[in-house]
């Protein structure tokens, strides 16, 4: 991968009654500190589910840390999903991979 960031839009469809059902996370992959690592950034652009996090892909696998939360007015519709995504800390759900 070149030094320029590679960016891809990913569509994520969620069945959320009475809520905007589309979240559009954007991922960016850029070279990390070593030639064998790629840094990741995940941020939603719109929708009921708000995701934010960073990580890297390297020779030992994927490592990612982030948070998920419901947009204002969507808390009730997304409560169970946020419980499944990760450990809850109030309105935030912790995402931890690797």
**Domain boundaries, given as residue ranges, for the chain:** 6-97
pLDDT at 17: 40
pLDDT at 60: 86
Digit-coded pLDDT (tens) for 34-86: 567 888 999 999 999 999 999 999 888 999 999 999 999 999 999 999 999 99
Using an 8 Å Cβ cutoff, are 56 and 38 in contact?
A: yes
pTM of the full structure: 0.63
pLDDT at 37: 81
């Amino acid at each position: 991968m070149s030094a320029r960031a590679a960016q891809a839009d990913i569509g994520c469809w969620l069945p959320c009654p009475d809520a905007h059902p589309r979240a559009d996370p954007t991922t960016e992959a850029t070279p990390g500190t070593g030639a064998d690592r790629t840094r990741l950034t995940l941020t939603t652009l719109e929708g009921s589910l708000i995701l934010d996090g960073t990580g890297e892909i390297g020779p030992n696998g994927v490592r990612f840390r982030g948070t998920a939360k419901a947009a204002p007015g969507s808390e009730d519709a997304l409560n169970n999903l946020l419980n499944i995504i990760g450990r809850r800390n109030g309105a935030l759900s912790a995402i931890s991979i690797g």
